[in-house]
Amino acid sequence: MKDEDIDFSDIPRTTPEFWAKAVVRKGLKPVPAKQQITLRIDQDIITFFKEEGRGYQTKINQLLRAYMEAHRAAR
């Protein structure tokens, strides 16, 4: 079958907005669910991470994970 022979009439068109938040995860493990908590952190630490740009909460999470894994390995 050639591309021009494919019937797309029952498939809605996608927009750039639809794909803007898309994440390709083919072949990767599912992302574990995160839990929202309230955590008191010193203001200078928050300021530092926010100045690093978008994704500061993810960076903090990655640092906490690295700390946890290092301490698990040491046991």
Q: What b/e readout covers 20-50, taking b as 16+ CB neighbours within 10 angstroms?
A: eeeeeeeeeeeeeeeeeeeeeeeeeeeeebe
Give the pLDDT mean for 60-67.
Answer: 95
CA distance 60 to 66: 10
Question: What pTM did the predictor assign?
Answer: 0.57
Return the minimum-mean-pLDDT range out of 20-24, 42-46, 49-53, 58-62. 20-24
Domain boundaries in the chain?
A: 42-75
CA max distance for the chain? 62
49 in Cβ contact with 56 (< 8 Å): yes
Q: What is the pLDDT of residues 9-44, one digit of tens each?
A: 898 888 898 888 888 878 888 878 899 999 999 999
